[in-house]
Chain A
Amino acid sequence: MGERAYDRAVRLAGVALAAAVFLFLIAPLVVLVVSSFSPTGSMAFPPSGFSLRWYAEVLGSPDWQVSFRLSGLLVLLVVPTTVVIGTLAAYGLAQGSFPGRRLLTGLALSPLMVPEIIIALGLLYYFHGVGLINSLPGLWLAHSLVALPFVVRAVMVSAAQLDPVLERAATSLGAGRFRVFRTVTLPLLRPGILAGAILAGVTSLGEVAVTALVAGANTTTVPLRVFSAVQYQLDPSMAAVSTLLMAASVVVMVVADRFARISEAL
């Protein structure tokens, strides 16, 4: 009997610990979302009522509209760029056998190992020289650079599980190399590609360190505007912006997950 009580206590303690960790992770997001509906200008938590005035303010502001458009455009540019380059790189690195493969793998993932501020400084000097500071192509390149290793990493996980015998089977049925890649390899890499695309999108959407150095007055992305805004006025409009960004990420992930699971489960 004593042993059973002990087992129960241990299990309860485990559940409590897990709940505490989960709460710790989600608390900042909950506070943010709740504050965004505050009717007053104070950030006091919990808020005293419910209103959508901060959403109206943010969405009505021309400055914010420009930033939203810029950030959205960057995601649309960065995701396809990094997905194409990252998928091909990951497939080659995971399945190929050539000298220097390990070195190249390390190189492809190196932006993950280097502090972002160092990459930012490098890009700052370089873009200054070629005149890409404060321009859309500059941000496109910078964000792609930061997001690419995430895609490579995610696709490599799928590519490492890819059974080369499947490609052989397709070849034996008469399919040439390109056809095999298109009809067998790519569909099997899809989970990794989707995960990589989401990571790339979220990275681009939230990037601050590199963006801060290579952007300028005409190219203020949403996170940059949040960053500068909170330094002057701390009101719930920032919470509203963050909630919108979060909602966008959640929608993308739910759709992608549904898409991936539909293709796999059927």
Chain B
Amino acid sequence: MEPDLRLNEPDEPDERAAGHVEIEGLAAGYEGARVLDLDRLSIRKGEFLSILGPSGCGKTTLLNSIAGFVRPAAGRIVIDGEDVTGRPPYRRGLGMVFQNYALFPHMTVAANVAYGLRVRRLGKAEQAERVGEALRLVGLEGYAERRPKQLSGGQQQRVALARALAIRPAVLLLDEPLSNLDAKLRREMRVELRAIQRRVGTTMVFVTHDQEEALALSDRIAVLNGGRIEQLGTPDEVYRRPATRFVAQFIGAANVLEGTATGTGGLDLGGLVVNALPGLPEGERAVVAIRPERVRLTAPGTAAGPETGAGVAGTVGYRSFAGDAWHAEVRLADGRTLSVRIADTGAGASDPPGAGTPVVASWDPADVIVLERGGASRPATEAR
């Protein structure tokens, strides 16, 4: 069994209960351009919440507003029932981990971790104890006297994590902390970060543009676009039931089709009819999404049975091998393309045909995600 390395001690019930963040009507922007416009975001105690979105979506501004580095134009931020909106960043008691580690180069690892404790004027003995505890938590006990320069990127980020956790923050804010690491290390750190979070139970708010990271780490994901929350939900919710076209395309790069239902299980995209859709009344407008990994490719004529749906005919635009799968693009008659992902079976049996080959793309009607239906209007943030 792993030893219990919880930073919160039982005799500190106040800190144990900490970590409930309420954000209301938050707006922030620079010189007229509004980069953030949140109605409401409630972060639960002890949860790992990812804020996911493309660059420029306002996710870093949101994090900096919580941290206090950005002064919002409107709205309230409440932490543990206390309104901190006007409080300077050094009095919010939050921890922060930065993309470039931001370790103090002129201090040893131990001094870095102790920085926040010295600010809090803790006794020497308690400082040493907490520094040791935090370094043990991230697996760097033997590195206390090193300088940041002597550590690898992954080790530096772990020191940064230890430094932020040593002050026992109510909430730990992480600003793309894994982006500067190479792919292998990033996967390892992902697992480790999650394990540490489970152990210490600190509420973590994690900003990232990497959907894979957000899916793997989070209790809940807030998908941000244009300064607004498009969807807030568990990883499987946002993946399986995306609320908007943006979420469907940003997470899992779904194919989005928009058209009018034909009443016979087809969707008229404007001249081109795509088959195999869940029953929609004739004449109703709809926007649907199909995941690339749900699309199957067959040779025309070998007709998939009616139970699998006829799909749509096209030609293979390109195919590329990605190790565990093939990525292919199917060009439809009207120039539209469908992206397709086919898991590799190893023996080459499932390889898609080469570029230029006519194929039929089909899918199970149950795999089709209806994003919007009815009317011509397309509300941006309407949950299903």
Contacts and interface: CB of A to CB of B under 8 A. Distances in A.
A170 interface: yes
Contacts of B116: 173-175
Interface in A109-142: none
B281 to A, nearest CB: 55
A169 B91 CA distance: 13
Contact of A173 (B69, B167, B173): B167
B207 to A, nearest CB: 14
B349 interface: no
Interface in A48-74: none
A233 interface: no
Contact of A172 (B103, B106, B164): B164
B19 interface: no
Given A174-B90, A174-B116, 4 more contacts: A168-B102, A171-B89, A172-B94, A175-B115
A174 B105 contact: no
B163 interface: yes
B266 interface: no
- A-B pairs, top 5 by smallest CB distance, nearest first, are A173-B116, A172-B96, A169-B102, A174-B119, A187-B106
A179 interface: yes
Contact of B102 (A165, A183, A187, A190): A165
B165 to A, nearest CB: 11
A163 B106 contact: no
Interface string B67-106: 1010000000000000000001111011110101011111
Given A172-B94, A173-B167, A174-B90, A263 B106 contact: yes
Interface of A: 163, 165-166, 168-176, 179, 183-184, 187-188, 190, 263-264, 266
Contact of A170 (B67, B69, B88, B115): B115
Contacts of B98: 165, 168-169
B190 interface: no
Contact of A165 (B88, B91, B100, B167): B100
Contacts of A168: 69, 89, 96, 98, 102
A183 B107 CA distance: 10
Contacts of A163: 100, 102
B147 interface: yes
Contact of B167 (A171, A174, A266): A174
B176 to A, nearest CB: 12
A153 to B, nearest CB: 22
Contact of B163 (A173, A187, A188): A173
A191 to B, nearest CB: 11
A169 B96 contact: yes
Contacts of B119: 173-175, 179
Contacts of B90: 171-176
A152 to B, nearest CB: 22
Contacts of B103: 169
B120 interface: yes
A175 B91 CA distance: 8
Contact of A188 (B69, B105, B164, B167): B105
A266 B145 CA distance: 10
Contacts of A175: 90, 115-116, 119
A172 B120 contact: no
Of A166, A176, A184, most B-chain CB atoms within 10 Å? A166
